[in-house]
Amino acid sequence: MPPKAALKSYLTLDELKTRYRRARDTSEARRWQLIHLVAQDWTIKQAAQAVDLNYDYAKEIIRRYNQNGPEAVKNRSQKRQVSPRSLLTADQQRELKYALQSPAPDGGEWSGPKVARWIAEKTGRSHVWPQRGWDYLKRLSNGR
């Protein structure tokens, strides 16, 4: 098994979790989640796979975090790109936003996979990736 990554303790586990849950930018949220998992003694490889990041890029994120602290995790690009293709119409997005105000269909909390299933049902798609569900959850739930 690969050795565990050394991670400087700029933030506590709870602070890292809060950062990835409150990040408005999905790429930044994934980087925070990667660091949160590594802080819990996951290997970089395991954490990169869990958040669907390239292993070399994940190592770079950890290196930058260790060298420069939390500021290194933020998006460095000046231009924010809009999603190239929306899965939901404006009406469907409003419907999803309303649905997110109530418990998920199973009675629990909404998650990326649950939103992805909701989108698949509404759009007639056979599959929607959980990350796309997470993107919509973050965008439409207003930090819930």
Predicted pLDDT at 4: 74
Quick one: DSSP state of residue 84? S
Which residues, at least 6 apart from 76, have a Cβ–Cβ distance to it below 8 Å? none
pLDDT exceeds 50 at position 7: yes
pLDDT per position as a tens digit, 79-127:
444 455 688 888 899 999 999 999 998 988 999 999 999 999 999 999 9
Residue 38's SS3 state is: helix
Angle at 113 (CA atoms; ends 142, 98), nearest 5 degrees: 35
Q: pTM for this structure?
A: 0.54
pLDDT per position as a tens digit, 18-40:
998 988 888 899 999 999 999 99
